[in-house]
Chain A
Amino acid sequence: MTEKKQKDWAALAKMPKFVELHSKKKAFLLTLWCLGSIMFYLLPICAGYAPDFMKVKVFGRLNVCYFFCLIEFAMTWAIALYYTHKSNTYFDPLTREVLAEIARGEHA
């Protein structure tokens, strides 16, 4: 992995396209991660501090707790799908543009 020629990484990092890519990506990942985490910690918090809420029956014998757990699963899948969608339609093309720009710089 040793670089054959020393690159000016600092200059590359200042490329507008790259700045756009990483700042957008960072904000996106952070938001998604925080939202997911809040939902995740809500489950034990509710179970521990609001047990009566968790015991409310929703359908038949099934209670809030059961559906809460199911929602956690559904949410995790939703995060995965949303992230994949966003990456495929937005981040990947942008990444390719950045890489193309770096390559142009090398040949110039």
Chain B
Amino acid sequence: MTFFSNIWRNEKSREIIVQIIVLFFLGWFISWLVMNVNANFKALGKDISFEFLFIPAGYDINQYLIEYNNRDSHLRAGIVGLLNTGLVAFFGIILATVLGFSLGIIRLSKNWLASKIAYWYIEFSRNVPILLHILLWHGIIINTLPHPKKAISLGDVTFLSNRGFYIPKPLTENGIELVYLFTVIGVIFAVLFAKYCKRKQDLTGVQYPVFWINFTVILSFPLIAFFLSGMPISFEIPALKGFNFRGGMHMSPELAALTFALGIYTAAFIAEIVRAGILAIDKGQREAAESIGLKASKVMNLVILPQARRVIIPPLTSQYLNLTKNSSLAIAIGYMDLVATLGGISLNQTGREMETMLIVMLIYLSVSLTISAFMNWYNNKVKLVGR
């Protein structure tokens, strides 16, 4: 009796006991859930099997980044969908970041009009559900742009229609290797030059216009190689043939609508995060920077933003994750992402809802954890280093 009451009175052992009990019940609950699913599946005469992943999917997907036709397996259809999810998330994140950072800074601008416009933009975007954004953009594109036969033509090489945007597709020819080589050389030069200038500045305080020099180098090296090797790039111009345009590069209205909607919606949240990050920096920092004569842009780029970044990155990560997960709403407008392929048509054709949903969930989980891991790495890199 005294032994047990002693254990219970000891704070350390009591904590352990409570945790063991909680763990036991949690484990018991989960195993009950699994057993219940199993029992109910048995009662329904269903089994859990992943064999369907390897039989031909039988359906077509209108946008694929890797080769795909309807004889490929459900697994491959799922990968095609995953890559489409990745594509729209990638474009969306870039758009949201650029737009969000700009808006966040404009929102703090002393210019009354600019600040108010940013304010209204943010309030409108983030207070309208994302699904409506997607439907709105899709509706705008397919209802306001003309039919392919009356497509808006930009110099007869780029076309806008309600079937999407068509731009010329670059085709490489012999001699392109030289351009690649010069591109790599240009980049290596730029990196080394930036390092050299940094060291020089640390030692002597002399500043070079590093950005502009590197910009010119990276742009001009491949260009010079391009002309030297006899212009080894030609363009495939999209042309109206039958019902639609053929050739060229095609961005479907669904991809465009989804990218705009996700980017514009998430940008509003990012703008607020950026604003919060900037306001979190003590105003003494700004005053100190101004007092030593730094320009406004330098105050922002060298003093405020590097410190604000530490505050900004963790919530920014959540926004990237949200954007990626929100892309699953693609199904509303028929963009063939992971949910529409593996979690949609494959599910229907095979009837394996439990299996497909588990796979789709696991994939989203791993994608999110990957983004998270990357952002944590970046966060560690920019965090305040104690010296």
Partners in one complex: no
Residues of B at the A interface (CB closer than 8 Å) are: none
Residues of A at the B interface (CB closer than 8 Å) are: none
